[in-house]
Amino acid sequence: SIKSTLIEVVDEIDIDSIKELICDDTKALIIFSDGLHTNVENLLKEIHNIKPNILIAGGRAGDNLKFQESFVFNETKITQSGVAIASLNSKELITN
């Protein structure tokens, strides 16, 4: 299964929202963040604390080196400060 969410970030990332995406069968996360506001390093540390061996892929939004605004979005929302995350969950998925 695939679970996804868009988390808007004001000061810190809501770790409970991340925990809702990760289960025993979660093999990988795909994460896209805004390019200017969100502290992705803290997010990666928190994910490592929750599930150390999870694979992570993704990137940061850019604005052609203007450093003025960038966006992430899902099917219903858009934000200038946040992360879009999808978790890949399956007993059959092999990640090695």
pLDDT in tens, 13-69: 888 888 999 999 999 999 999 988 888 888 899 999 999 999 999 999 999 989 899
Placement of tokens 């934000």 in the chain: 79
Q: Under DSSP, is residue 20 helix (H, G, I), strand (E, B) or coil?
A: helix
Of 46, 38, 39, 40, whose CA–CA distance to 16 is shortest?
46
pLDDT value, residue 12: 78
Which pTM does this prediction carry?
0.88
Handedness of CA 10, 11, 17, 18 (dihedral sign): positive
pLDDT value, residue 58: 95
When pLDDT is cut at 50, 70 and 90, the band that residue 70 belongs to is very high
Handedness of CA 53, 72, 14, 91 (dihedral sign): negative
Q: Which residues pair with 6 in a beta bridge?
A: 84
**How big is the chain, counted in residues?**
96
Element (H, E) at 37: none
